[in-house]
Structure 1
Amino acid sequence: MSRHPEVLWAQRSDKVYLTVALPDAKDISVKCEPHGFFTFSALGLNGQRFYFSLPLYAPILPEGCKTKVGLRNILCSIQKEQKGWWKRLLKSEEKPAPYIKVDWNKWCDEDEEESNTDLAFDDDDEAYVGEDDESGDDEGMLYLPDLEKARGN
């Protein structure tokens, strides 16, 4: 039996971005079909099978679909057949499955697209897969305030 990983989505006028949250995934398979059908499968950390398929809102260009695998997630860039904004991700007007959510960190409205930089899913863009090119000595640690000062000691 397969499970569904969390899937975050965002769009631009020419692309749809899917981020599949699946740490340490193996045997990843992504399939894009021209009529707008997207299929994903992979093995999770403990050998669990993860699978989902999405009937997308409109046709796509399979040759324009790219996938990058990071340590914590798989990023998919899907080329739309026709440039324009989709009303929703899926063809169906029903509420999407609970594992599909909007990626507010990457979301861009139509009127903001020109002022925003693209997500730059280029071949040389390694920062997009979650590994910072400019990592310092802190190895990505979050800075927390000094707890003793916060308590007033």
Structure 2
Amino acid sequence: MLQASLPQVLWSENIFTVRLSIKVVGVNPKSDPVQITENSVTFRALVDGKVYSVEYILYDSILPARSQVKISSGEVTIVLRKNQKGRWPRLIKLKAKPANLLYDFDRYEDSSSAEDEDCDEDGAGPTRKSKKIRLPTGISAEKKQEIMERHRLEQSCSTQSSDENEGIIRNDDRDPYDIFDVGH
């Protein structure tokens, strides 16, 4: 029997879906390598004589019939439709994270990006979608939270007066080489 290898798995989410990107080159699309149940996802594929396999018991339930699988040349993408709208604190039920499972910060979206938001309470302001941001790796959770809060502030209406924006740090006030914003 062949020894199974653990492929790298990147995951991200929004309030409606969870996305898994399994990094394996050369998976045969006809082999049906993904099985999805209400509480789990299993991937198993044989590529060039090597078996790749992962199985995750999910943090919360999903809708298998509304989930999708796409197999491309370099990865298998699985989009799982959540049973209930909301954020998950982690992908899997276990608190211990497998070494091959990483959060995909390139696909990070703050919670306001899932829907359009009005800038003013009376609806007179422009409606726009929040932009995705990329966070650097290797920074503390507190710094990530601070960056996300600053991002939310920057996404607020640009129609506010300069007095109202006094506490907001503008992009032109920042040192472009200070990626951790230490100078402020």
**Length-normalised TM-score, structure 1:** 0.70
Q: Is 1:64 matched with 2:66?
A: yes
Partner of 1:74: 76
- Structure with the larger RCO, 1 or 2 (CA within 8 Å, 6+ apart): 1
Instruction: Note the aligned Cα RMSD (angstroms).
Output: 1.7
Opposite residue 86 of structure 1, the aligned amino acid is: W
Q: Deviations over 1:42-70 (max 9, x none)?
A: 112x2201111001110011101101111
Runs of 4+ displaced beyond 2 Å: 111-118
Partner of 1:40: 43
Larger radius of gyration: 2
Matches within 5 A, 1:37-116: 37-44=40-47, 46-94=48-96, 96-114=97-115, 115-116=129-130
Q: Which runs of 5+ in 1 are unaligned?
A: 119-153
Aligned-pair identity (%): 25
Report the secondary structure of 2:67's partner residue.
strand
Shift of 1:116: 4.6
Shift of 1:113: 3.0
Report the secondary structure of 1:51's partner residue.
strand
Report the secondary structure of 2:34's partner residue.
strand
Compare the two structures and name the one with the higher strand fraction.
Answer: 1
Aligned length: 115
Whole-Å separation in 2 of the counterparts to 1:113 and 1:52:
29
Opposite residue 82 of structure 2, the aligned amino acid is: K
Q: Which runs of 5+ in 2 are unaligned?
A: 116-128, 133-184
Compare the two structures and name the one with the higher helix fraction.
Answer: 2
**Length-normalised TM-score, structure 2:** 0.59
